[in-house]
Structure 1
């Protein structure tokens, strides 16, 4: 699925109208004492989750902020990001049982942010990488996947490097990157700067598959060596075909 930028912005504006602008930090500071009092009065109530809904904040983000503040006040120091992440993933690591229960309630009720969503995204990403490998095998295309490349000493690689380049829609492709997401302006610009151009510099021109579609105007780097598709290409030309 490809969307024009105009169509994408119209959808984004409509979504923005569904929920107000988040002025949450000030409200959070005002309501933090409320959590302490209500959690003691109702130890089994989802107080943090209710507060997150009241201030229109991601429940998992609310959990992270409250947990960070709790640890600072208890220990007198800021905990590392990894410590916070581990506690959010496994609330049993939190010594305060009431807070642990509230953290758990927040993370399992957040469909957009947090450790549960990260696990789902990771699983979906892996599924599409396997799908890509299966498609390549069906076409008898020789390739190296990311794990093989890392064992060879590469530190930053695309998902697939083709051992023999192919042509897609008249463009040479040396590597393929699988993205199990929609390619919008912000995410694509970030990927270009942090991934795609470095792949291009190291391995040559390549193909990015946004399995859930992208803004069609973003497919504007073909002449520079980065091709966008929303599915596995069907019009592949191999060296064998070219020779014939």
Structure 2
């Protein structure tokens, strides 16, 4: 996707209702818009966290004066679920107690509080249990897509579960033997059920991808919902989208190092 198109979409996704509006107006995939909206909202939440924390005493007074958690969250432009968490902690409750209410609101005896918790759970499509489930399932979908493609092409690989305890960092799929994809040698592939803009890629690179290159050599990160066409990335990493599934795969010469031949000093 061109950077200018992405910026326009990103800027328009201010609320969850904008997802439906843009999908109807532009014909863009609704799930793509959901992904971009989620990334935008998470970033905004992180930026506003210190503002909310600084104003918690005032917000707690508003809550105790009769205003609902949801109305306070809307006033302060913050996640309803996280607003509730911070108010509860400010009021002396533990995280454990709060999350037990959020996960099982039917156990709350106080009917007013029960309604407040039900309201914020319903309204928060990202930080609520059901919102988190959507993101987990999206990630699982991406990993299954990758694994199915590798299996269909008869490529051996090991998953994070297979490699647990053997390396300090593990990609989603470490190939048993290197192959050539799009003319590049590939030893590993990482699945990301997100959109690859500069912020997302830099976060992934610092937290994971740079370590994979150091440990296993060249690899690919697949952003299943696309990425910025002009995105710059360092040697050793190739960025692709779901079109990877239509690319031919070539065998590598015998002298190319396999993951099994990596020196022991990069292992755990």
Q: Aligned pair in 2 of structure 1 residues 136, 86: CA closer, same or farther (>3 Å)? A: farther
1:158 positional shift: 0.6
- Residues in 1 aligned to 2:65 and 2:14: alpha-carbon distance in whole angstroms: 33
Q: Aligned pair in 2 of structure 1 residues 16, 104: CA closer, same or farther (>3 Å)? A: closer
SS in 2 for 1:53: helix
Match of 1:11 in 2: 9
Match of 2:240 in 1: 229
- Residues in 2 aligned to 1:142 and 1:97: alpha-carbon distance in whole angstroms: 55
Match of 1:76 in 2: none
Checking the alignment, whether the CA contact within 8 Å between 1:28 and 1:55 is kept in structure 2 is: no
Counterparts of residues 147-226 of structure 1 (less than 5 Å): 147-150=161-164, 153-221=166-234, 224-226=235-237
Match of 1:113 in 2: 127
- Residues in 2 aligned to 1:172 and 1:195: alpha-carbon distance in whole angstroms: 19
**TM-score normalised to structure 1 length:** 0.77
Q: Aligned pair in 2 of structure 1 residues 83, 32: CA closer, same or farther (>3 Å)? A: closer
- Residues in 1 aligned to 2:57 and 2:8: alpha-carbon distance in whole angstroms: 34
- Residues in 2 aligned to 1:163 and 1:86: alpha-carbon distance in whole angstroms: 43
SS in 2 for 1:141: coil
Match of 1:69 in 2: 90
SS in 1 for 2:239: strand
- Whose relative contact order is higher, 1 or 2, with alpha carbons under 8 Å and at least 6 apart? 1
Checking the alignment, whether the CA contact within 8 Å between 1:166 and 1:236 is kept in structure 2 is: no
1:219 positional shift: 4.8
**TM-score normalised to structure 2 length:** 0.70
RMSD of the alignment, in Å? Answer: 3.2
- Residues in 2 aligned to 1:153 and 1:101: alpha-carbon distance in whole angstroms: 48
- Residues in 1 aligned to 2:122 and 2:221: alpha-carbon distance in whole angstroms: 32
Q: Aligned pair in 2 of structure 1 residues 198, 105: CA closer, same or farther (>3 Å)? A: same
Which of 129, 141, 159 lines up with 1:127 in the alignment?
141
Checking the alignment, whether the CA contact within 8 Å between 1:166 and 1:238 is kept in structure 2 is: yes
Checking the alignment, whether the CA contact within 8 Å between 1:210 and 1:230 is kept in structure 2 is: yes
Structure 2: segments with no counterpart, 5+ residues: 19-40, 255-268
SS in 1 for 2:64: helix
Checking the alignment, whether the CA contact within 8 Å between 1:63 and 1:107 is kept in structure 2 is: no
Q: Aligned pair in 2 of structure 1 residues 94, 194: CA closer, same or farther (>3 Å)? A: farther
Q: Does 1:137 align with 2:165?
A: no
- Residues in 2 aligned to 1:203 and 1:87: alpha-carbon distance in whole angstroms: 44
Match of 1:37 in 2: 65
Structure 1: segments with no counterpart, 5+ residues: 40-46, 73-78
